[in-house]
Copies of this chain bind each other. A is one copy, B any other.
Amino acid sequence: MTSRIAVDAMGGDHGPSVIVEGAVAGGRARNARVLLVGKSSEIEAALEGIDQTGVEIEIVEATDTIAMDDHPAQAVRRKPQSSIIVALGLIADGRADAMISAGNSGAVMAGALLVLGRVKGIERPAIASYMPTATGNTLLLDLGAVTDPKPSNMVQFAEMGQVYVERIMNVKNPTIGLLSNGEEPTKGNALVQQVHPLLAARSDLNFVGNVEGKDVAMGTVDIVVTDGFTGNVALKTAEGVASLLTDILRNEIAASLPRKLAALVLRPAFRSMRARLDYAEIGGAPMLGVNGAVIISHGRSSARAIENAMTVGHRAAEFDLAGGIAERVSRVLPSSEGPKIPPSSE
Contacts and interface: CB of A to CB of B under 8 A. Distances in A.
Contact of A213 (B227, B228, B234): B234
B273 A249 contact: yes
Nearest to A232: B181
A259 interface: yes
Interface stretch (A91-99, A239-247, A326-334): A239-247
A187 to B, nearest CB: 8
Choose among A144, A181, A239 the residue with the greatest number of B CB atoms under 10 Å from its CB: A181
B234 A237 contact: yes
Interface stretch (A21-29, A199-207, A264-272, A316-324): A264-272
Contact of A277 (B228, B241, B263): B241
Given A233-B234, A238-B241, A240-B216, A248 B277 contact: yes
Contacts of A226: 233
A273 B259 CA distance: 14
Contact of A243 (B217, B247, B261): B217
Contacts of A234: 213, 233-234, 237
Contact of A248 (B190, B262, B273): B273
B181 A228 contact: yes
A58 interface: no
A265 B258 contact: yes
Given A181-B144, A188-B229, A249-B273, A240 B266 contact: no
A251 to B, nearest CB: 9
Among A212, A228, A258, A270, residue most surrounded by chain B Cβ atoms (within 10 Å): A212
A213 B240 contact: yes
A168 interface: no
Nearest to A247: B134
Contact of A214 (B189, B215, B239, B255): B239
A269 B253 contact: yes
A259 B134 CA distance: 21
A42 interface: no
Nearest to A147: B189
Contacts of A242: 241, 245
A126 interface: no
A263 B242 CA distance: 20
A229 B189 CA distance: 6
A179 interface: yes
A227 B262 contact: no
A73 to B, nearest CB: 11
Contact of A244 (B179, B217, B233): B217
A240 B215 contact: yes
Could you say which of A147, A215, A242, A243 has the most chain B C-beta atoms within 10 Å of its C-beta?
A147
Contacts of A241: 217, 237-238, 241-242, 245, 277
Interface of A: 69, 132-134, 144, 147-148, 179-182, 184, 188-190, 192, 212-218, 226-230, 232-245, 247-249, 252-253, 255, 258-259, 261-266, 268-270, 272-273, 276-277
Given A214-B239, A266-B266, 6 more contacts: A134-B248, A216-B240, A241-B245, A245-B245, A252-B266, A262-B264
